[in-house]
Structure 1
Amino acid sequence: VMLTNSTGAYGLAVSEHMFAMLLEIIKKLHIYRDNQNERIWKSEGRVKTIYNSKVLIVGLGNIGCNFAKMVNALGGYTIGVKRRPSEKPDFIDELYLNDELDNLLPKADIVALCLPSTKDTQKLFSKERIALMKEGSILLNVGRGASVDTEALCDAVESGHLLGAGIDVVDPEPLPEDHRLWGIKNIVMTPHVSGWYNLAETYERIFDISLDNLKRFLNGEELKNIIDFNTGYVK
């Protein structure tokens, strides 16, 4: 059996969603929204900027590359981590393989996870790896919730080790109503909606990819986005 997927369809929608969560956290927009609901008019003090921030992007597929381009356009310093060697794109300042991850985490102001769910990504960001992250840094996750130890993330934000987190995915999903994650102030969370069809362009891209592969199949041509069953990634 040959299996293909819709790689290339979600980059725009998910990367914009992740970028929005990042801006929300560093500009304290989530706090100001809470203040608005409570009718509180006051400054919440200093904010941060993407400019000159070191942004570590773990997973340089379509989503990670789109996010890196946005960060690069605003003057952020982009560090990419991926599974296989390749040429460094212009929008990536430094490029490494996965085995360098632990050495890079202490340097990054922002860590963005754009990973699928495979045997190699399960709890990739464990308690020990989150502890390696820079004091006051931010974790973003739009891949799969299982790549992050949820309890360890809660501990890191509540203790102040991490400034905050922006997550569109969580483990488990849906999140139980009594989970402490709901009430942590500096965690911005959405219910796995960034890559759905809320952006019409995503649906159109999926349709185009599927139609192109159908034409290729009928004409006996090589298909795009063929899945490697050993890794779970596109070959």
Structure 2
Amino acid sequence: MKILGGMPFSEEDRKYLESKARGCEIIYKDKELVVEEDVQDIDIILGNVSPEVIAKAPKLKWLQTNSAGVDVYCKDGILREDTLLTSASGAYDTTVSEWMVSVCFMLARKEDLYMRNQVERCWKHEGKVVSIEDSVTLVLGLGSIGKHYAGKMHALGSYVIGVTKHQHSDKPDFVDELTTIEHLDELLPRADYVAMVLPGTEENVHIIDTKRLKLMKDTAFLINAGRGNAVDGKALDEALRNGTIGGAALDVTEPEPLPEKDPLWDAPRCIITPHIAGQFYLKKTFVNIVKITGENLEKYLAGDIAGMRNKVDHKKGY
């Protein structure tokens, strides 16, 4: 069995993985540098190697990504139907949910305005603020990250409404209401925070558009840490400039990087970060990824496919 390790594994990480894959050959290479020739005889790839290169791997039996989102690998022509795909879902829960809570506080307390004032050396009061306590938070996408964020907002005193694609009977204690996406239009007018951690599937493209932005309170805040194309950027820019909503925080945009001349950069009450809520900036995140990868590797080589974590349905994209 030949394995390509495309994640930034440390020496300690490599020893850990090799202990799980005795008898296998593991080749380590920066995922950005992996080319078609490197994958011709590879059985397993660990890491987010380019989809174009993945599509040229004739023997690939299993791909373990270092990302929670895997939609780029679920497109036609990338993986064979029988190729196992697993994600790093669960590894990013802390870092992304904390980013989401942090921007909620920033918007509530107008810290974005005060930071701009500081840059301009302007001592100026920005008026009344709001609180997370006693607010209503609508969480679109109640996966692993969504649950962690929901739990944090609930602990801060917000009334949390979870929105999923399909109805679930197992409502977490930290979710006050659990419903489905078909009720979104009824829920938007109730929310003070509309937080999005949706997968990159076709039905989620521009799920927040002009119509739905108009359904939101003019004091409500939109938070997007899922996929940039879930929000119509032009519609959001207009909503912010017209005061249709109170503000927004985006860690993901459409496209990425956001072009220098895109009007969202200077739209009022809009916080933009360059897709850094996840990544490996928090040490715990990559530790989690290595653990998931090692456990899955051990189970795969033992033939325990059923016991592997985060198996992805190619057709659903998650």
TM bracket (short chain)? over 0.9
Using CA pairs below 8 Å that are at least 6 residues apart, which structure has the higher relative contact order? 1
Choose which of 184, 195, 218 in structure 2 pairs with 1:101: 184
- Aligned residues between the structures: 233
Tell me the CA shift for residue 161 of structure 1.
0.9
The match for 2:214 is 131
Deviations 1:39-88 (A, max 9, x none): 11122111110011010000001111111111111110000000122211
Segment drifting more, 175-184 vs 36-45: 36-45
User: RMSD in angstroms over aligned alpha carbons?
Assistant: 0.9
Q: Does 1:201 align with 2:277?
A: no
Q: Distance in 2 between matches of 1:3 and 1:195?
A: 20
Task: Give me the TM-score of the superposition, normalised by structure 1.
Answer: 0.97
The match for 2:8 is none
The match for 1:169 is 252
Q: Does 1:114 align with 2:173?
A: no
Q: Does 1:14 align with 2:96?
A: yes
Matched AA of 1:79: I
Tell me the CA shift for residue 135 of structure 1.
2.3
Choose which of 285, 296, 301 in structure 2 pairs with 1:218: 301
Runs of 4+ in 1 over 2 A off after TM superposition: none
Q: Secondary structure at the residue paired with 1:162?
A: coil
Q: Kindly, what percent of the aligned residue pairs are identical?
A: 42
Tell me the CA shift for residue 194 of structure 1.
0.7
The match for 2:237 is 154
The match for 2:313 is 228
Task: Give me the TM-score of the superposition, normalised by structure 2.
Answer: 0.72
The match for 2:46 is none
Tell me the CA shift for residue 134 of structure 1.
2.0
Choose which of 247, 250, 273 in structure 2 pairs with 1:190: 273
Tell me the CA shift for residue 166 of structure 1.
0.6
Unaligned runs of 5+ in 2: 1-82
Unaligned runs of 5+ in 1: none
Q: Does 1:85 align with 2:167?
A: yes
Q: Distance in 2 between matches of 1:229 and 1:154?
A: 34
